[in-house]
Amino acid sequence: MKTETQTVPAGEQPAFPAEHVTVERYASGESKRGAPGMSLRDWFAGQALVGYIASHAADGIRLPRDEVAARHCYEYADAMRAARDVPTDVPL
C-alpha cells in the first residue's frame, strides 16, 4: 500500500511528528501510515493555556469563559508563530 506525501504549509508543521504503524502492517508487512501529530499552533496554544490558567489561579482572578480563554491562547500561539519568522538580530 502506497501513501501520498502531503506538503504542509509553513507554520503548520506538526509539533511532534510520528510514524504510526497500522494493524495491516503487522498482518501483511506492507501497510504503513504516518501520523502527523498535533500542529505547532495547537502546541503553542496548549502551552499558553497552562500559563493562562496558572496565572489566573495564582492571582485569585476568576477565569473568563472557556471560549474566551481559548481564543486568547490561540492569539498567543499565532503571535509566537509569527515571531519565529522575525530575524533574531532585530531588536525588540
In angstroms, the Cα distances linking 69 to 13, 34, 42 are: 24, 32, 14
The cell for 30 is 506492507
Instruction: Tell me how far apart the alpha carbons of residues 83 and 14 are, in angstroms, rounded to a whole number.
Output: 17
The cell for 31 is 501497510
Is a pLDDT exceeding 50 seen at residue 21? Answer: no
pLDDT per residue as tens digits for the range 41-82: 999 999 999 998 888 887 777 888 889 999 999 999 999 999
Q: Model-level pTM greater than 0.85?
A: no
Q: What pLDDT sits at residue 77?
A: 94
What are the boundaries of each domain within the chain? 38-85
The answer to whether residues 16 and 44 touch, using CB atoms and an 8 Å cutoff, is no
